[in-house]
Structure 1
């Protein structure tokens, strides 16, 4: 599924007027090598003072300014003045206010799409376009969970049969067959005694446990496992300290 990169642009002027429109990547203003879904939304500002903006030096185009933002999972938008070649990154907590950075007339605000899939971190879309994921190699469950969170994601959670088919396809695409062990976002802490998702929510509805699983009272973490290619990939619980491949996902609006 082909997606175009779209940002929302707001012209900020001394009269506090705002005009919002979409910028298509084909205009050669934002890098066309990064693709996301094509939903954009508008912002309207009431004054010219903003707190929390991060200045970036030596940026000669809005394209280069945008790439700094795309490499930072905490970046929500960019402020760019083409006349002065001034670039500012806006983190998620930025806000307008009575004090802060004063933006000059002609400054443009490019607001990043809310369902951006960060391919610069190795993420990509599943073949059906439903899931933004990254496949990783050989970490413990806790290390894998931390690696996912560091890039704004989490270990993949599988709440539906459709999501199960997505993760199975991803695992198959990243392996040549044979015995497989792949961590996903389920954990069963010994102190709790009940499996749950990594984000703290309870497992309910869809489950795909292999026969004989959940037979230990020790702390264990969820894996997709099979012994040979003729077997179905199903959930099992294994030691969290083992080193297996893993799958991260970025949850998108």
Structure 2
């Protein structure tokens, strides 16, 4: 059972989760192999040799409540309200925080937890997070994310200094504005599935990310 001891931790508790799929493989080892991609945990029933593959965790009431399941050893603190979200080969460890500081305080909070405001370097990741927000939250919510006009030169930079092109198709029409109503719109926002730039001291929700 080396694959279980190296990749999974046995949990004797009940943790809320969703997106469960049912399998009837040929034993617990087969369950663990099925769970290696696109799965964060699985339950196993020794009587029926069946398992449920769990693709994400969330805060809420679980559709089923096992007394024992196998959680994949991933570097994402699921019990600290972070969510391990997958879509195909795209993965992210994120936390949606509903209180509303300005951009700089939001980044400070993420850093204090060992993370950073979420960065979207691929369209696949953007689509994945937008789908999660649509399904679980509200597409109309506004979230601080990890880019801003760092050097006040009308260029948006991700936190690692990569440039976010003003021609990127993920911008909302008319964005980036950089200046509106006499203010500097320097800080990145995700709203309605698109990127916006807002005045940095606006109070907004935010999304933290941890590297996995």
Q: TM-score, normalised by structure 2?
A: 0.58
Distance in 2 (CA, whole Å) between partners of 1:237 and 1:23 is 41
Aligned with 1:125 (options 81, 84, 90): 84
Contact 2:177/2:185 (<8 A) preserved: no
Distance in 2 (CA, whole Å) between partners of 1:32 and 1:192 is 54
Note the C-alpha offset of 1:209: 0.6
Cα deviation 1:67-118 (Å, max 9, x = unaligned): xxxxxxxxxxxxxxxxxxxxxxxxxxxxxxxxxxxxxxxxxxxxxx6x5101
Cα deviation 1:205-238 (Å, max 9, x = unaligned): 9551111112234252111223xxxxxx211111
What is residue 229 of structure 1 aligned with on the other side? none
Distance in 1 (CA, whole Å) between partners of 2:154 and 2:208 is 24
Q: Which has the larger radius of gyration?
A: 1
What is residue 75 of structure 2 aligned with on the other side? 116
Query: What are structure 1's unaligned runs of at least 5 residues?
Result: 7-21, 39-112, 227-232
Residues 251 and 206 of structure 1: CA distance in aligned 2, closer, same or farther (over 3 Å): farther
What is residue 191 of structure 2 aligned with on the other side? 225
**Which of the pair has the greater relative contact order for Cα pairs under 8 Å at 6+ separation?**
2
Residues 152 and 206 of structure 1: CA distance in aligned 2, closer, same or farther (over 3 Å): farther
Aligned with 1:199 (options 160, 166, 176): 160
Q: TM-score, normalised by structure 1?
A: 0.50
Query: What are structure 2's unaligned runs of at least 5 residues?
Result: 16-34, 37-72
Number of equivalent positions: 148
Q: Which consecutive aligned stretches of 4+ in structure 1 deviate over 3 angstroms post-superposition? A: 31-34, 204-207
**Pairwise CA RMSD:** 3.1
Contact 2:152/2:186 (<8 A) preserved: no
Cα deviation 1:138-167 (Å, max 9, x = unaligned): 221111111111111111111111011112
Map residues 3-22 of structure 1 onto 2, 5 A cutoff.
Answer: 22=6
